[in-house]
Amino acid sequence: MTAYVIRRVLWGILMLLVVCLVTFVIFRVLPAGNPALLRAGRNPTQGQIKAIEHSLRLDRSLPTQFYEYVKNILLHFNFGYSYGSNESVLQLIKERLPATISLTVGAAVLWIVFGVGIGILSAVRRHSYLDRGSMGGALLLVSAPEFWLGLVLLFLFSSSIGKFKILPGAGSYVGLTSDPGKWFTSMLMPWFVLAAGSAAVFARLMRGNLLEVMDEDYIRTARAKGLPEKEVTKQGVRASINPVVTVIGLEFGLLLGGAVLVETVFNIPGVGRLAYESIARSDYEVIEGTVLLAALFIIVANILVDILYAYLDPRVRYA
């Protein structure tokens, strides 16, 4: 097991390097805009642009740039600087991270609790109104893009532009430590929007798995033993949760992608909005920093899921 985890971590580091390279290629080799041009102000001369390019080291060869970028990360843990504000990328991300963690952790809790819970209820009360209603709702939420759902909620419930002014609207985020109550109410809509799609996927997955498992022979055995139906269902849930856990790792990546949209719609000063803003400004090193962070989270989440899976299923042994 230990050897397996070490191997996974090493592979994870290699994966991060690959992510680094791919991001680098996407933004620098196939650039969307010249960052020097964006910094130069109105009607710059060719000389001004060249000077800025030189100061940003954009005039060096691409392999040299990549080499220096990776070298700085590995040797100095330095992820570069924002072209716009000259702040260190690490510092920028550190400032923005609490908001993103608030958003994603809250959404993940909501997603897993409601997804699994509704899935189980739907399966147990198959064909009931509850089942039909929640599966219909799930289909709707799976299909609804975050930015659309976010805007709809803002128009419905936000205190600024909403029809029913019951929740704080966009830009109302405050840190958890400064005002927990306000933090909570301001996060309710973003959490819901970010969790909705994943929760819907999970509810459907959980329902399907559980219905399948309840037809298994060992469930029949459990009934034949005379176990109460509640215990029988519990054993069914226990057996059907494993495939759902595997999907957590995959779904986590989608959650981070959704965070970019949700932070933008709700104007939350998190890493997602930082990524969005830096893409708009061709702020290469900030983009690369945020992408690396997201990749790191996904890789760690997947390693954790695999370890959890071995713990959940005694038949799985990693060598």
Partner 1 sequence: MSAAEPLLRVEDLRVEFHTEDGVVHAVDGITYQVLPGKTLGIVGESGSGKTVASMTVLGLTRHQGAEVSGRILFEGRDLVTMGEEQLRGIRGNEIAMIFQDPLSSLHPLYKVGKQLTEAIRVHRDVSKAQARARAIELLGLVGIPDPADRVDQYPHEFSGGMRQRAMIAMALANDPKLLIADEPTTALDVTVQAQILELMERLQRELGMAIVIITHDLGVVAEMADDIAVMYAGRIVETAPASEVFAAPEHPYTWGLLRSIPRLERDREEPLVPIPGSPPSLLAPPTGCHFHPRCAYAQPSHSRVDPALELVPGASNHFVACLLEPQLRRGLWSPLSAGATPDEAKQEAGFADETAESSAVR
Contacting positions for partner 1 (CB under 8 A):
216-218, 220-228, 231, 235, 238-239, 242, 312-315
**Angle, alpha carbons 279-184-98 (nearest 5°):** 40
Minimum CB distance to partner 1, residue 227 (Å): 6
Minimum CB distance to partner 1, residue 219 (Å): 8
Minimum CB distance to partner 1, residue 208 (Å): 18
Minimum CB distance to partner 1, residue 232 (Å): 9
Minimum CB distance to partner 1, residue 131 (Å): 16
Of the two residues 2 and 217, which places its CB atom closer to partner 1 in the complex? 217
Minimum CB distance to partner 1, residue 225 (Å): 4
Of the two residues 131 and 216, which places its CB atom closer to partner 1 in the complex? 216
Find out whether 195 and 182 touch, Cβ atoms under 8 Å: no
CA contacts within 13 A on the Cβ side of 55: 15
Of the two residues 148 and 218, which places its CB atom closer to partner 1 in the complex? 218
Of the two residues 181 and 314, which places its CB atom closer to partner 1 in the complex? 314
- Measured in residues, the chain has a length of 319
Radius of gyration from C-alpha coordinates of the chain: 24
Find out whether 156 and 163 touch, Cβ atoms under 8 Å: yes
Minimum CB distance to partner 1, residue 228 (Å): 7
Q: Which residues contact 111 (CB under 8 A, 6 or more apart)?
A: 194, 195, 198, 199, 202, 251, 255
Of the two residues 193 and 239, which places its CB atom closer to partner 1 in the complex? 239
Q: Which residues contact 73 (CB under 8 A, 6 or more apart)?
A: 20, 79
Minimum CB distance to partner 1, residue 134 (Å): 22
Of the two residues 213 and 286, which places its CB atom closer to partner 1 in the complex? 213
Of the two residues 42 and 127, which places its CB atom closer to partner 1 in the complex? 127
Of the two residues 30 and 224, which places its CB atom closer to partner 1 in the complex? 224
Chain center to CA of 108: 9
